Amino acid sequence: MMINVQNLSKDFKVSKKLGLFKKENEVLHAVQNVSFKIEKGEIVAFIGPNGAGKSTTIKMLTGIIHPTSGNIEIDGLNPSTDRKKLAYNIGCMFGQKSQLYMHLSVIDSLRLLGSIYDMPKQEIDLRISEIAELFKIEHLLDKTVRKLSLGQRMICEIAGSILHSPDIIFLDEPTIGLDIVAKVRIREIILKLNQEKNTTIFLTSHDVSDVEALCNRIIVINNGVIVNDSSIEHLKETYLNKKQIQIYYSKKVGNIITPKYSIVNAFENKIVSEIDTSKENIGDALTYFSSFGNISDIQIVSTPMEEIIKKIYEERKIV
């Protein structure tokens, strides 16, 4: 097992100023009783709304901060007590914090990181050219980090975090602020790392399409508590028994009022209906709707992942 987390909690003491001298200390439970296990080679998305406790959890898993209580085992090591040893086995990239050296060129930054991980000189250069080819960043190597565009820098940050060939990578919002092209490139890179080296990947993102494109498992955290931990398939099974059927008629049809199917939207020659596939048959529905006119086009779409996650967040807030 790669990651084994048991009853992990983290409290922060925050002091509120009340007037000039008065202060009030409050305890903020950023992470509460979180447990999960991750096997080698899994790609896990760790998602949740702002302030849910994602970054705090990653910081505990990587040994940056100490947990208030609970146990963590990463690759058989305890991040709090074996921080240095663990550092050789993990890579970590925070989209919001740079690990590279702003004043250096990318290649010098990478070389310095290499020596931090005690890699011999030739090995460093070999590895840099290997990664540069894989990430297609050969043309960026001589640029000063400070002068890179955000997307270019993010890719180089990932390059820096995997230079020492870690078994696990933690990526905290690796696509934050990137345009769609850059996002897709980062996703490709992450997938490649997973496929070629069977690297375990633990990532957070607010972009559901990242999650959909990359992950086989989603852990949802809200207010420091895990509210859902399941495979994407399972999520889809539970939340995706609804399909949307969009039907385009060749001519404008009159108002369709039907007690049988719920109509989400009707406009001109198009209607959109939502069907619960556990209760109704799509074929029957199509036959039914074709009786209203000549159908020129049909689209059947699953409820987007976005909707599912919104539902999970909302359900939990009500509880």
Partner 1 sequence: MLTVVKQNFNFFIQALKVSIMSAMEYKVSFLIQAVFMFINNGFFLVFWSVVFNINDGKLQDLEFDYILLLWSIPVISYGVTYFFFGGVTQLNTYIITGQMDSFMLQPKNPILNVITSKCYFSACGDLIYGLVIGIVASKYNIIKLLIIIISGIFGSVFYVSTEIILRAISVWLKDTENIANKYKDTLLTTFSNYPESIFSKGIKLILYTVVPAGYISFLPIKIFYSLDFRFSFIIIAVGILYLAAAILVFNKAMKCYESGNSISMKM
Ligand X SMILES: Nc1ncnc2c1ncn2[C@@H]1O[C@H](COP(=O)(O)OP(=O)(O)OP(=O)(O)O)[C@@H](O)[C@H]1O
User: Which residues would be at the binding site for Mg ion (CB under 5 A)?
Assistant: 55
Considering only residues 12 to 31 of the shown chain, the ones binding ligand X according to CB under 6 A are 12, 14, 28, 30
The only residue of 5, 32, 42, 54 in contact with ligand X, by rule CB under 6 A: 54
Considering only residues 56 to 115 of the shown chain, the ones binding ligand X according to CB under 6 A are 56
Note whether 50 binds ligand X by CB under 6 A.
yes
148: left (phi over 0), alpha (psi -120 to 50) or beta: beta
Closest distance to partner 1 from the beta carbon of 161 (Å) = 8
Closest distance to Mg ion from the beta carbon of 246 (Å) = 37
Closest distance to Mg ion from the beta carbon of 54 (Å) = 5
One-letter amino acid of 270: K
For partner 1, the closer CB: 28 or 263 = 28
Which does residue 196 bind out of Mg ion, ligand X, partner 1, none, counting CB within 5 to 8 angstroms by kind?
Answer: none
User: Which residues would be at the binding site for partner 1 (CB under 8 A)?
Assistant: 12, 55, 59, 62-66, 83-85, 87-88, 90, 92, 94, 96-104, 108, 111-112, 115-118
Closest distance to Mg ion from the beta carbon of 48 (Å) = 9
Residue 182: phi and psi, rounded to 5, are -65, -40
The only residue of 38, 43, 44, 52 in contact with ligand X, by rule CB under 6 A: 52
